[in-house]
Structure 1
Amino acid sequence: MSVRTRSRWLPGLLAALACAFGGVAFGDPVVFLASGVGLAYVAYGAVAGEPSPDALVVERRVSDDEPRAGDEVSVTVEAFNASEAHLPDVRVVDDTPEGVAVVDGSPRAGGTLAPGESLSVEYDLRARRGTHEFGECVAVARTLTGASEVRATAGAGDTLAVRSGGDALALREQTESAVGRVETDDAGEGVAFHSVRAYQHGDPVKRVDWRRFARTGELSTVEYREERAATVVLVVDVREESRRVRAPGESDTGRLSRDAAVELAGELLSRNDAVGVAVWGEEGGYLPPSRDREVAAHSIERLLAEPAHVPADLDLRMRGLWRPATLARHLPGSAQIVCCTPLADDRPVEAAETWVANGHAVTVVSPDPTSDTHGGRVAALDRRRRARELRGFGARVADWSPGEPLAAAVERAGARWR
């Protein structure tokens, strides 16, 4: 907190002294009386006084400092008049985290404060995956003349740590032998009921159907749907022709596709799935699938960071521009493909058809860049046509509006696929 005095009254004092001296020197009463204007200005500034150094107290409150990606977070900055004086001109400004959009309200306000009153600034942020740092929130109170001001700051270094959203994308039954969380049609260990068969010597006691034994006296064993791990390659469409912005202040679809891929990768790795990433556009690059959670997550975040560049120390294949058919030759036979693309043109549809033809299950997560304008409605019709074509040859499509959490779009799409 600080008090700063401005010299706005000094010109008035100098003008008053000049007029008084000139009036006496030249014997001109009009010039001498004009010095009264400057003296009145100086006197007004003196009467107005200076605000107390501890007149203002400011603080920032965040509704949730660890939200999920896509959630709206409410921020309140409050300036309190702790003095006994009236503060006629109070202004509050908050320094929001870089790259996090304000979706409602404003991070600045102004007004007057009587003793004991407070002025609040309220606004909402759209949480984006990652850790974001606030700057200072600043409250300034000035006197009526503006000759002096008191300034209070707080909250520098406050962070917003955004977690990945809910459950991972529901995957297809294209798995490996490793244990995971993708349900298969095979009987074995798991949690979802599959069937009941006759008891065999050596079956685990915990899987014996004791209720049936009590009714019939026959031993039987309950089988569950076996859960296995999958191999997933996330294809991130960041081509120039795919970068669209739905509204001013929002992230473009290239950024949204990157964020979606990083979020999905984290959730899939937590389920013991092997995850790789292929960047489609810009410098390109293919990071082969890995099940090492910490190493893979860190490598994927680095590869998909902005400003876009391919880290030289990453073990990448297909550096530079590549074709979808080229990727198919690099993939493990059991790999599924999850393509993050806005479906802004027909190339993702052609690519998905190539991957399906090569035996890979394909899921498309599509951030919607279309707006409610004439051009936006035409673009929306084209997107829906492409989505129908994708579904027509067996690909799944999860449509994601940037105004909702990715987890909600994934959960809604998963309910349709079951």
Structure 2
Amino acid sequence: MSVRTRSRWLPGLLAALACAFGGVVFGDPVVFLASGVGLAYAAYGAVAGEPAPGSLVVERRVSDEEPRAGDDVRVVCEAVNAGDTHLPDVRIVDETPEGVAVVDGSPRAGGTLAPGESLAAAYTLRARRGDHEFGECVAVARTLTGAGELRETAGGGDPLTVRSGGDALALREQTESAVGRVETDDAGEGVAFHSVRAYQHGDPVKRVDWRRFARTGELSTVEYREERAATVVLVVDVRGESRRVRAPGESDTGRLSRDAAVELAGELLSRNDAVGVAVWGAAGGYLPPSRDREVAARSIERLLADPARVPEDLDLRLRGLWQPDTLTRHLPGNAQVVCCTPLADDRPVEAAETWMAHGHPVTVVSPDPAGDSHGGRVAALERRRRARELRGFGARVADWSPDEPLAGAVARAGTRWSR
């Protein structure tokens, strides 16, 4: 809180004194009487006074501090006149998080406040992935003359944390012996029905088809599809030529690709898959797959926090810039590749073809950077062509708009892939 008094009435006082002095010295009553105008001007400013300290209380309220990506978040910055005097001029300005667009309302407001009344700046943000810091919400109360000013602020508070959980990424049937959630064509323990066979000595009692036994008198055993763990390497495309911004104030596709990779890594690790990350571009780096959930998640977030700076203490298999064929030589034989890229050029298509030629199934998660401009529409056509090429040689493509949760794009692509 700060109180400031402006000396805008001092010129009136000086003019009054000058006129009074001149009138006395020169014996001119007209000049002497003119000093009354200046005195009245200065007296008005003195009587107007200044707002009392503590008479203005400011608070920011956020409807949801952990929304899903694409959700609308309502923010209200409110100022309350807690004093006993009328505040004739109150203005509010809220500093919104950088890179998060205001889609409705305004973070600014102005008006007058009687004692006990409140004034609010209410607006709606469209949630984007990541942690977004609010600035200060500032309320300023001025007297009618503008001579006195009271300023109150509400701090930034907790950041707006935007994530989207949900549907698991559909992976190919290229697994290892560890138990996981990828369904295979092998019969055994699981939850999805596979087949029925004749009962064999030692089969678990819980898998005996008792309904069939009651109907036919024959013992039989139900087989389920085995679920095994997968090994996944997330390739994050942060090359300079791949960074696009759909509209001012929005995250670029490099940031969106990094956010998608962190989210997918958390989902995959939670179902016992081994997950590694390769940063394509910037300072580069390749973190081999690991199934240690806490260690892997922490290492992945550190590697992706700033692609231009790779932590020295991370156990990386590759450091610096690498080419797709170089990465191929370091991939585990049973690894699948999930490439997060906006498909801004042909190199991701060529890389995916290289990885698939070496027996690594490829899934592409592609944030859409296309805007509504003429250039954006041309870029969108090129991007769709690349997506068709990828699907043409067997890669899966999840086309993801930043306006929707990542889980929705993955679910749509999963439905398409199952055909």
- When normalised by structure 2's length, the TM-score is 0.93
Q: Which residue of 2 aligns with 1:54?
A: 54
Which has the higher mean CA deviation after the structures are superposed, 308-317 or 208-217? 208-217
1:236/1:279 contact within 8 Å kept: yes
Q: Which residue of 1 aligns with 2:378?
A: 378
Separation of aligned partners in 2, 1:22 and 1:260: 78
Q: Which residue of 2 aligns with 1:89?
A: 89
Separation of aligned partners in 2, 1:295 and 1:77: 40
1:272 aligns with 2:290: no
2:399/2:409 contact within 8 Å kept: yes
Q: Which residue of 2 aligns with 1:321?
A: 321
CA offset at residue 340 of structure 1? 0.7
CA offset at residue 368 of structure 1? 0.7
Q: Secondary structure at the match of 1:122?
A: strand
Q: Secondary structure at the match of 1:330?
A: coil
Q: Which residue of 2 aligns with 1:305?
A: 305
Q: Which residue of 1 aligns with 2:282?
A: 282
Name the amino acid aligned to 1:117: E
Which runs of no fewer than 5 residues in structure 1 stay unpaired? none
Cα offsets for 1:170-225 (capped at 9, x unmatched) = 11111111111111111122222222222222222222222222222222222221
Separation of aligned partners in 1, 2:30 and 2:186: 106
Q: Which residue of 2 aligns with 1:204?
A: 204
Change in CA separation of 1:207 and 1:329 when aligned onto 2, cut-off 3 Å? same
Name the amino acid aligned to 1:279: V
Change in CA separation of 1:271 and 1:347 when aligned onto 2, cut-off 3 Å? same
Name the amino acid aligned to 2:225: R
Which has the higher mean CA deviation after the structures are superposed, 8-17 or 247-256? 8-17
Cα offsets for 1:73-132 (capped at 9, x unmatched) = 221111122334332211112233445444443322222223433222122334344444
Q: Which residue of 2 aligns with 1:192?
A: 192
Q: Which residue of 2 aligns with 1:336?
A: 336
Which has the higher mean CA deviation after the structures are superposed, 23-32 or 259-268? 23-32
Separation of aligned partners in 1, 2:171 and 2:206: 29
Cα offsets for 1:249-268 (capped at 9, x unmatched) = 11111111111111111111
Q: Which residue of 1 aligns with 2:66?
A: 66
Separation of aligned partners in 2, 1:115 and 1:179: 66
Which has the higher mean CA deviation after the structures are superposed, 48-57 or 398-407? 48-57
Change in CA separation of 1:380 and 1:132 when aligned onto 2, cut-off 3 Å? closer
Which has the higher mean CA deviation after the structures are superposed, 99-108 or 193-202? 99-108
What pairs with 1:15-414 in structure 2 (closer than 5 Å)?
Answer: 15-306=15-306, 308-414=308-414
Q: Secondary structure at the match of 1:381?
A: helix
Change in CA separation of 1:131 and 1:368 when aligned onto 2, cut-off 3 Å? closer
Name the amino acid aligned to 2:296: A
Q: Secondary structure at the match of 1:275?
A: strand
CA offset at residue 350 of structure 1? 0.8
Aligned length: 418
CA offset at residue 33 of structure 1? 3.0
Separation of aligned partners in 2, 1:257 and 1:34: 73
Which has the higher mean CA deviation after the structures are superposed, 18-27 or 354-363? 18-27
Which has the higher mean CA deviation after the structures are superposed, 98-107 or 3-12? 98-107
Separation of aligned partners in 2, 1:35 and 1:410: 79
Name the amino acid aligned to 2:65: D
Name the amino acid aligned to 1:119: L
Q: Secondary structure at the match of 1:184?
A: strand
Change in CA separation of 1:240 and 1:119 when aligned onto 2, cut-off 3 Å? same
Separation of aligned partners in 2, 1:202 and 1:177: 22
Change in CA separation of 1:15 and 1:168 when aligned onto 2, cut-off 3 Å? farther
Cα offsets for 1:51-73 (capped at 9, x unmatched) = 23333222111111222344332
Cα offsets for 1:361-383 (capped at 9, x unmatched) = 10101111111121111111111
Name the amino acid aligned to 2:188: G
CA offset at residue 3 of structure 1? 3.4
Separation of aligned partners in 1, 2:84 and 2:133: 35
Q: Secondary structure at the match of 1:313?
A: coil
Change in CA separation of 1:156 and 1:318 when aligned onto 2, cut-off 3 Å? closer
Separation of aligned partners in 2, 1:347 and 1:30: 88
Name the amino acid aligned to 1:295: V
Q: Secondary structure at the match of 1:244?
A: coil
Name the amino acid aligned to 1:414: G
CA offset at residue 307 of structure 1? 6.4
Change in CA separation of 1:132 and 1:375 when aligned onto 2, cut-off 3 Å? closer
2:15/2:35 contact within 8 Å kept: yes
Q: Secondary structure at the match of 1:251?
A: coil
Separation of aligned partners in 1, 2:8 and 2:158: 36
1:164/1:267 contact within 8 Å kept: no
Which has the higher mean CA deviation after the structures are superposed, 286-295 or 200-209? 200-209
Name the amino acid aligned to 1:6: R
Separation of aligned partners in 1, 2:219 and 2:309: 62
Change in CA separation of 1:38 and 1:213 when aligned onto 2, cut-off 3 Å? farther
What is the root-mean-square deviation in Å for CA atoms of aligned residues?
2.0
Q: Which residue of 2 aligns with 1:7?
A: 7
Separation of aligned partners in 2, 1:69 and 1:297: 20
Which has the higher mean CA deviation after the structures are superposed, 120-129 or 401-410? 120-129
Separation of aligned partners in 1, 2:137 and 2:340: 37
Name the amino acid aligned to 1:218: E
Separation of aligned partners in 2, 1:205 and 1:14: 104
